[in-house]
Chain A
Amino acid sequence: MKKIKFATVWLDGCSGCHMSFLDIDEKLLDLAGKIDVVYSPLVDNKTFPGDVDLTLVEGAVSSDEDLEKIRSIRTRTKLLVALGDCAVTGNIPSMRNQFGMNAVLRRAYVENKTIGGKIPNVNLPTLLPEVRPVHELVRVDHFLPGCPPPAEVIEYLIDELLAGRTPDPERRTRFGL
């Protein structure tokens, strides 16, 4: 069987969804026979290749870099899965939305300063005015809520997609979890 091209992306999230994915433990070995991980925080490839079959995205869209990344990834992957609550709902990163970006930056870097007190702006992605869930910006094919989604549900989703079926994760996970 030909291996599919598989990628994972880490936008504004805590990496907990990636940890949950690794928690499928020994089943990673089976999976390794079926997928070729072409891009991921778990592998050492700096550019997202073309013609990817399946991409899991963890995290909300919070910066201009996130936005650029996810737009370009959407054009290079057949299937895009929003993995976890940050990607699906905005979750914790989106809690800054109700205060506004400037107030949050001021709070973190000026009001609570111990030394200096300057909002960092060199060589860093610019934060967007609002954090948004992935599907508000690009088309998403499947949603897997959960903070994080349980390992066995991530495994189920990948298995179903590899088998060419449409996963139905509805009852298996939920917001929050």
Chain B
Amino acid sequence: MAKQVQVKTLKINGVDVGGRGDQTILQVAREHDIEMPTLCHIEGLSDVGACRLCLVEVKGINKLIPSCTTLVEEGMEVTTNSERLAKYRKMVLELLFAERNHICSVCVSNGHCDLQDLARLLGVTHVRYPYRYPRLSVDASHQRFVLDQNRCILCTRCVRVCDEIEGAHTWDVMGRGIEAKVITDLNQPWGSSETCTSCGKCVQVCPTGALSEKGKSVAEMSKRRQFLPYLTTMREERE
């Protein structure tokens, strides 16, 4: 028997909308053509609320709420665009740029990068925080792919696609705060990973140049993401 789902009615930007009780604010908003910026979210994978770009205001709650991980509730009044939100979204992007070495001009993903695109979209013309310029590693031990920690924003799309779609769970995150980084297996070189199937899904979902195919030069790494909605739809249909 199909699970009973309740319909919730709420307001987004003053417009009455309806959604199922198991849907997130982001899902319901997008179904109604209400756009908001996202970065760690990707259609077909679970959501973790890592990037904080989809933050929204909800009436009666003082703090900002990530719309990708918050389920809709009856009577909610959501605002997806305001000066306050624009301010925090810009701040989030600037902190991402300041945290590692995102040198767009010499990046494999220049021109095909979600971070770079969002900076333009949200009007980030410069970074107000001091750049950290940390010294980070590049792992080119895999036969076909490269991991460049300089460009990683810790969105964990690679971790999720590897676990949820490929079923290998090669990727994970180690360390805390500023020390956090994505690793393969138990923090060993990617090329020596015993679990990696070399399927390349992680590379294709990566929003920046952190994961790329070998042999790609500056601005050559455009990602092919068509497989993800296709695979998830096929699996849902089979269930």
* Residues of A that sit less than 8 Å from B by CB: 82, 85, 88-92, 94-95, 97-99, 130, 132-133, 135-136, 140, 143-145, 147, 169-171, 173-177
- B136 to A, closest residue via Cβ: A98
**Chain B residues in 8 Å Cβ range of A171:** 120-121, 123
User: Quick one: given A143-B125, A170-B125, A175-B119, are A91 and B136 in contact (CB under 8 Å)?
Assistant: no
Within 8 A of A (CB), among B202-226: 219
Whether B125 and A169, one on each chain, are in contact in the complex, defined by CB atoms closer than 8 angstroms, is yes
User: Quick one: given A144-B125, A169-B125, are A92 and B103 in contact (CB under 8 Å)?
Assistant: yes
Whether B134 sits at the interface, judged by CB under 8 Å, is yes
Main secondary structure of the interface of B (DSSP, over half): loop
Q: How far is the CA of A147 from the CA of B105 in the complex (A)?
A: 6
Whether B104 and A95, one on each chain, are in contact in the complex, defined by CB atoms closer than 8 angstroms, is no
Whether A145 and B106, one on each chain, are in contact in the complex, defined by CB atoms closer than 8 angstroms, is no
**Chain A residues in 8 Å Cβ range of B126:** 82, 88-89, 133, 135, 140, 143, 145
The smallest beta-carbon distance between A91 and chain B, in angstroms, is 6
Whether A89 and B135, one on each chain, are in contact in the complex, defined by CB atoms closer than 8 angstroms, is no
Within 8 A of A (CB), among B75-110: 97, 101-107, 110
Contact with A along B115-129 (1 / 0, CB 8 A): 011011101011100
Whether B135 and A175, one on each chain, are in contact in the complex, defined by CB atoms closer than 8 angstroms, is no
Whether B131 and A133, one on each chain, are in contact in the complex, defined by CB atoms closer than 8 angstroms, is yes
Whether B104 and A98, one on each chain, are in contact in the complex, defined by CB atoms closer than 8 angstroms, is no
Instruction: Point out the residue from A92, A130, A136, A140 that lies within 8 Å of B105, measured CB to CB.
Output: A92
Whether A98 and B103, one on each chain, are in contact in the complex, defined by CB atoms closer than 8 angstroms, is no
Whether A170 and B101, one on each chain, are in contact in the complex, defined by CB atoms closer than 8 angstroms, is no
Q: How far is the CA of A130 from the CA of B131 in the complex (A)?
A: 11
The smallest beta-carbon distance between A165 and chain B, in angstroms, is 16
**Chain A residues in 8 Å Cβ range of B123:** 170-171
Whether B111 and A176, one on each chain, are in contact in the complex, defined by CB atoms closer than 8 angstroms, is yes
**Chain B residues in 8 Å Cβ range of A133:** 126-127, 131
Q: How far is the CA of A79 from the CA of B126 in the complex (A)?
A: 17
Whether B105 and A85, one on each chain, are in contact in the complex, defined by CB atoms closer than 8 angstroms, is yes
User: Quick one: given A89-B131, A94-B131, A174-B120, are A145 and B136 in contact (CB under 8 Å)?
Assistant: no
Whether B133 sits at the interface, judged by CB under 8 Å, is yes
Whether A95 and B119, one on each chain, are in contact in the complex, defined by CB atoms closer than 8 angstroms, is no
